Structure 1
């Protein structure tokens, strides 16, 4: 049992869309393939990983620090004590040798990419879907058969008017999504309120619409939007201020009674714990969006779940950012509150298994070993082509 090769590539996920803070015209992602000496159906077991949108490819960090450490490690130091499989926790610890604590920036993305590939390989070697492996190994032995998903979109786009925004949301509802999400903060308040009302004409009620400011607002602006949006009773008000400005989040909680969401740009269990302690987030209604693919991977995500649990939050408070199948498996296996979905952007690094439809706002999972990438034909082709596997 050993890793025989690790391959890394950079792929483009560029798009002309923008949110309140960045555009995606030059967005890239890293893809990693972990090749093992195990053979299933006559082929080597390969685990795949990639990083979520919004953070660029981490190839420099991967090739300068993290992949060399794995390649130089004794093969037996990366496997379980009983020799039956790779050990994600040992692999994670090896990657983080000589890394100082704190500073959870882009290195968390690099580690998360590899970690995803390792978990994919582990579940494939065991011959079970990752969600089942997680439920049996770290959960109570049961998993959710389907997962709540919402359709993330509503980006600012050159020439996009309210009627086109409405058409986009109609498409999502026709796909089976109940809750949709749109961007705010990239236009003046009165214009964004007009856009919100246009979408409400399509979805009917505020409980079916989430809005996302992508960390754009100062406190005064965040409060102004909160006051203007109160009457709509929205599904959530997401990332009003800078993700590390817990003061803004705390002040919002005092005046905004509706659900809030944040956390996608916090990349460690320590930052997640600080948000839970000091950010004014309320376990009875608010949502935490930590994305394991950006925050050191699933090994660290389990520490995050433990940390927020001690602060009164449940795994059901978590609806990860990213719209990828790793979070979908975690949501089912460790019983999170749901998962993001990108029906029309960031292709092919979006979507779930071919042939499994979203119904009444929920999506099922394939009964396939690993994360299930092979059941998403466009995605697995892109990753195989990028890594020559």
Structure 2
């Protein structure tokens, strides 16, 4: 059993939308195909990976550092103890050789792309969906038959008025979502409050709406927003300040007793641990949004879950960023609290298997080997084209 080829390409996911910090007009994604000599149904097993939206394609890091280390490794060093499958933990250690501690930056994104492809291949070689493989290895075989998902949208579009914002959210409700999220911080507070109230008018309860500032605010502004948001009793107030400003997050709890969410822009066990130690987060209500596709992959995410357990946090408080099938498998297999979803944006990478509906903000997973990319036709077509090069 060996890896016979590794192919990577860059795919644009540009869109005329913006949040409080960035626009997505130049956004790109790395897509990777890991070709093995294992076979299923007479075809080589190929593992696929990509990075989540919000970070650009890490092609240079993959090409110059991480893929050469993997290619140079002896085939035997990449296998598990049976010799019949790849070992994601051993592969992770090999590609991270000669990497200095700290400075996680974009290298965590590159490793996350590769790690996703490895786990996809491992589950395919084992002949089972990734969520079942994870449940068997780490949860005594227990997995969730369906996963909570919420629709992330409400971006700032050019010339988008309140009526258009309401129509967007009605569209998500019609798709089966009962919880939605919208952006704040990209407009004055008075305008954002009008946008929030417009969305609340079409919802049954305020806890159906979460808001996301994408790290835009300093403490004073974050606090002003907190006091203004508190009476609405929203689902959560997300990433009010810089993701590494743990003091801001801790002080904000004095102004906001409702649930808060953060973590999507922390890319390592060390940063996640510092968040838990110093940011004043509350394990009975707050939400952790670490995204394995951006943070060194599932190998690192498993370490983060162990750390959270040591600090008294339940995996049910984890609802990963990214809206992709990898995190959906983690949620089902490891008992996380749910997964983000991006209906209609960041395609074909956002969203889940074709033909499986969202019902009251829950979705099921396909019963096919691997992560399930083959059940999402547009994405699988793109990935197949890369594997066939």
Q: TM-score range by the shorter chain?
A: over 0.9
Retained in 2: the 8 A contact 1:10–1:386?
Answer: no
Alignment of 1:230 with 2:215, yes or no, is: no
Q: For the Cα contact (< 8 Å) 1:31–1:387, is it kept in 2? A: no
Task: Say whether 1:103 aligns with 2:103.
Answer: yes
Shift of 1:323: 0.3
CA distance in 2, matches of 1:273, 1:21: 25
Quote the residue 2:20 is aligned against: 20
Contact 2:7/2:386 (<8 A) preserved:
no
Does residue 144 of structure 1 match 2:144? yes
- 2-structure distance, mates of 1:238, 1:312: 21
Shift of 1:332: 0.3
What secondary structure, in the 3-state scheme, does the structure 1 residue paired with 2:210 have?
strand
Q: Show the counterpart of 1:258.
A: 258
DSSP 3-state at the match of 1:333: helix
Q: Any idea what SS the aligned residue of 2:150 has?
A: strand
Query: 1:9 touches 1:387 (CA, 8 Å); kept in 2?
Result: no
CA contact (8 A) 2:35 2:387 kept: no
Secondary structure at 2:253 match in 1: helix
Q: Work out whether 1:125 is the aligned partner of 2:125.
A: yes
The CA deviation at 1:17 is 0.2
- Structure 1 residue ranges without an equivalent (≥5): none
1:29-63 CA deviation, whole Å, 9 max, x = no partner? 00000000001011000000000000000000000
**Matched position secondary structure for 1:148:** strand
* Aligned residue in 2 for 1:113: 113
Supply the distance in 2 between the matched residues of 1:242 and 1:39 (Cα, whole angstroms). 46
Shift of 1:372: 0.3
CA deviation vs aligned residue, 1:293-315 (integer Å, no higher than 9, x gap): 00000000000111121112111
For residues 388 and 63 of structure 2, the distance between their equivalents in structure 1, rounded to whole angstroms, comes to 17
Q: Which residue of 2 aligns with 1:160?
A: 160
1:275 aligns with 2:253: no
Q: Per-residue CA shift, 1:146-165, capped at 9, x if unaligned?
A: 00000000000101111000
Listed as ranges, the matches of 1:1-389 within 5 Å are 1-388=1-388
Using the TM superposition, give the Cα deviation of residue 140 of structure 1 relative to its aligned residue in structure 2, in angstroms: 2.0
Q: Once superposed, what is the RMSD of the aligned Cα atoms?
A: 0.7
- Give SS of 2:349's match: coil
1:349/1:379 contact within 8 Å kept: yes
Q: Is the 8 A contact 2:148 2:361 kept in 1?
A: yes
Contact 1:33 1:117 in 2 (8 A): yes
Contact 2:8 2:33 in 1 (8 A): yes
- Pick which of 301-310 and 146-155 moved more: 301-310
Task: Please state how far the C-alpha of 1:387 moved relative to its aligned partner.
Answer: 4.5
d(CA) in 2 for partners of 1:37, 1:203? 52
